[in-house]
Amino acid sequence: MPEPKKILGLIGRNVGYSWSPLIHNTAFSALGLSYYYTIFDIAEPGLIGDALKGCRALGLSGFNVTIPYKKTVVPFLDELAPEAQAVQAVNTIVHQNGKLTGHNTDIEGFAAPLLPFAERIAGTPVCIFGSGGAAMAAIEAFRLFFRPAGIMLFVREPEKAGAILSGYEHRGIVTTGTLNDIETAEGSRLFRECSVVVNATPVGTGCRHRHSADSIVPLDRDLMHHGQIVYDMVYNPIDTPLLGAAEQAGAKTISGIEMLIGQAARSFQIWTGRTMPVETVRNVLLQEIRSVS
């Protein structure tokens, strides 16, 4: 009798667009592992506790967690790995013998495509747009791997900056601001000095045209330039409005697809103890994305 498959999935809201099932199921199939990955679309934060109780009751092996629940899940977990504890945000959960442990593979996944530019980034300012778990992962990744001169965090509302940094041990390396600050001469100067510009918001998801989203990152200002690296965590579509504007400005661009694969590979390793066949996954993923574009 065949071994029952271990069930893993993605917890999020309105995440039917996710490529994560294709990524993980391709990897499981390539290595002949008895796992199956699916989506658990949860409509509201109040249901997260019930979902995790269900994980224990049903014996599910674990989850990925995405917007907007990376911080919401934390109080319902039994233990946090050190990197998740540092940012109080979780994107990977392991269920073992009734115990739920939270990890944050976004940190390593975010850092991976930037590592070739580590010397270029060190000692320079960087900026991040966002106020959620993805922004915190980027902050911690910059701190751990790149030693920037400082990190500017731009949010829509000032109180969100305080909320995201609450309890963060290294918050002294972060300077916060709002979109209105970029309208000032000083703000625009600071933006242009940043070696890396990161969109850690979901804005741009599903948008294929430059003006089709009310972007949090300024697309139509003469701020981005060839000396910058512009990194969009949005991966659907691969070519987001922000990346299109950055290319026109001559900046180096990094698609969120790189972070998606990087964080998935680390999650895969945590769950299975095996190394994800990344090139196989990448080829299947890109082929599927092109087929539906």
Catalytically active residues, by annotation:
70
Instruction: Give the span between the Cα atoms of 138 and 152, in whole angstroms.
Output: 11
CA–chain centroid gap for 139, Å, is 11
| Alpha-helical runs (H) found in the chain | 20-31, 48-58, 82-87, 106-111, 118-121, 133-145, 158-165, 179-182, 185-193, 241-249, 256-272, 278-292
> Could you identify the residue written with the tokens 């979902």?
51
Instruction: Give the span between the Cα atoms of 27 and 230, in whole angstroms.
Output: 29
| Residue 145, helix vs strand vs coil | helix
Radius of gyration of the CA atoms of the chain, in A: 19
Q: Cβ contacts of residue 250 below 8 Å, gap of 6+?
A: 225, 226
Instruction: Give the span between the Cα atoms of 116 and 114, in whole angstroms.
Output: 6
CA–chain centroid gap for 57, Å, is 29
